[in-house]
Amino acid sequence: MSAVAAPAFERSPGYWSTVLRRLLRDKVAVAAGIVVLLLVLMAIFGPYLTPADPYASSMLKRLQPIGAEGYPLGSDELGRDLLSRLILGARLSLFMGITPVLFAFVLGTALGVLAGYAGGAVNATIMRTIDVFYAFPSVLLAIALSGALGAGIGNALLSLTIVFIPPIARVAESVTAQVRGRDYVEAARASGAGAFTIVRVHVLGNVLGPVFVYATSLIAVSMILASGLSFLGLGVKPPEPEWGLMLNTLRTAIYTQPWIAALPGAMIFITSISFNMLADGLRSAMEVKQ
């Protein structure tokens, strides 16, 4: 091979750039993505965006209607500006939605890949233990765990992570077992590579994709569950603004200011449906391979 600059090698776009291109062509997914982006920005820059102090209460100005003086979206049962609380609430709500899924993704994938690749007794032990947790309906498990551990953000995060590890681990194990049986993994073993190298080079690249897509579909569920926990009084504690908690405290207001009471839930809904549509779009973009 000469050292003189040869014409560049033909290369084709990698897997993820193809996925991205296909995703960008899907209008619904793009719209959902924009909403998600806005929500994330709202979460990050929350404190700077609030027009009023989200914690300042006023007994005189309780449950003001939408459009009242100084309260563009009304005020809650303690007289706090609802708009500000909704904006700041994005932080906690999104955090509680994404973090458990993130942790569960890391831990669940690790367990699933280990079980799927090792096979035999290791697989049986891990998967049967996971099956026991999988035998509980997720809402029940989340509430039982939260109820047992006590209210609070940390406990809620812990219980939600535990709830999401089994389904993610199952998907990871299933895909890993499939990949392990493929010829190219056998060829890699035939080259004398050790298990870690094979997993790193050959298995992970083919497993992370599908598991990631599955995990993204769990984000909305996690958000709804986390808010649900707060709604029951098991998650975030007052006076922190979190949409589920706000739904709880505003419940009694449905007779006097119904639409105020419904607002926090609307935020959860918008967030959830955007994440779901984005996840759907991602799945379609990844599926149409060959």
Q: In this structure, what DSSP letter does residue 201 have?
A: I
The stretch among 36-44, 45-53, 61-69, 202-210 that binds other proteins (CB under 8 A) is 202-210
Determine, following the binding rule CB under 8 A, whether residue 25 of this chain makes contact with other proteins: no
Interaction residues for other proteins, span 57-116 (CB under 8 A)? none
Q: Quote the CA–CA distance of 251 and 263 in Å, as a whole number.
A: 11
Interaction residues for other proteins, span 119-148 (CB under 8 A)? 128-129, 131-133, 135-140, 143-145, 147-148
Nearest to 76 by CA among 85, 88, 89, 67: 85
Whose Cβ is closer to other proteins: residue 50's or residue 227's?
227
User: Could you give the angle at which helices 138-149 and 204-232 cross, rounded to 10 degrees?
Assistant: 60
Determine, following the binding rule CB under 8 A, whether residue 186 of this chain makes contact with other proteins: yes
Say whether 71 sits in a helix, a strand or coil.
Answer: strand
Cβ distance 80 to 57 under 8 Å? Answer: yes
Interaction residues for other proteins, span 206-245 (CB under 8 A)? 206, 220, 224, 227-228, 231-234, 244
User: Around 158, how many Cα atoms within 13 Å sit in the side-chain half-sphere?
Assistant: 13
User: Around 191, how many Cα atoms within 13 Å sit in the side-chain half-sphere?
Assistant: 11
Interaction residues for other proteins, span 261-290 (CB under 8 A)? 261-262, 264-266, 268-269, 272-273, 275-277, 280, 289-290
Please report how close the Cβ of residue 184 comes to other proteins at its closest, in angstroms: 5
Please report how close the Cβ of residue 47 comes to other proteins at its closest, in angstroms: 25
Interaction residues for other proteins, span 36-65 (CB under 8 A)? none
